[in-house]
Amino acid sequence: MRVERVDMRLVGDGSGEGVLAYADIVLAGEEARLLVRELRIVRIPGGMVIVGMPSKQVRRKCESCQMKCPAASSWCPWCGARQEGKPSRMYPETPHGGRLYFDVLYPMSLESRDWLDAPIMKAYEEARAAQASQAGGEATDGDAGHATPRG
Ligand SMILES: [Zn+2]
């Protein structure tokens, strides 16, 4: 299996923290081709840039209004009712604003992580280089970034 294709959607100019880009990828092997959506290129506090796996928010039903609420929230955001009890044994409470996420795609070894990250980071660097060279062609204020020629 290999990462056959990476579709990159840049967010902003890449200078800030948080999500720098979203990526959809195609994993291709002899027997199947799989599309995986919404991987994220993220700059974490400290400056390191990582590939974030697509994730899903864990939710549960409010006993008062029956609307779906963040699993770890103590209060229903729809009706304000207090949510009793532990949200889930599988997904214990977290301090992240009452929200709770889990990865829906998870590399199960460091080798798998590297295998997945490398082509995505390469596509990200190429997309940023293309963005910088476009900006450099239009603007002449000097500090628009310098794309290295590819060869
Ligand atoms: Zn409710």
How far away, in angstroms, is 58 Cα from ligand 1 center?
16
- Supply the pLDDT for residue 40: 96
Q: How many CA atoms lie within 13 A of 125 on its CB side?
A: 11
Residue 138 has pLDDT above 90, yes or no: no
How far away, in angstroms, is 55 Cα from ligand 1 center?
24
- Supply the pLDDT for residue 60: 81
- For residue 137, what pLDDT band results from cuts at 50, 70 and 90? low
How far away, in angstroms, is 83 Cα from ligand 1 center?
8
How far away, in angstroms, is 75 Cα from ligand 1 center?
8
How far away, in angstroms, is 68 Cα from ligand 1 center?
8
Q: What is the pLDDT of residues 76-129, one digit of tens each?
A: 999 999 887 655 444 455 544 455 777 889 999 999 999 999 999 999 999 999
How far away, in angstroms, is 9 Cα from ligand 1 center?
35
Q: What is the pLDDT of residues 30-40, one digit of tens each?
A: 999 999 999 99
Residue 69 has pLDDT above 50, yes or no: yes
Q: Among 56-60, 64-68, 91-95, 122-126, which stretch is predicted with the lowest mean pLDDT?
A: 91-95
- Supply the pLDDT for residue 151: 44
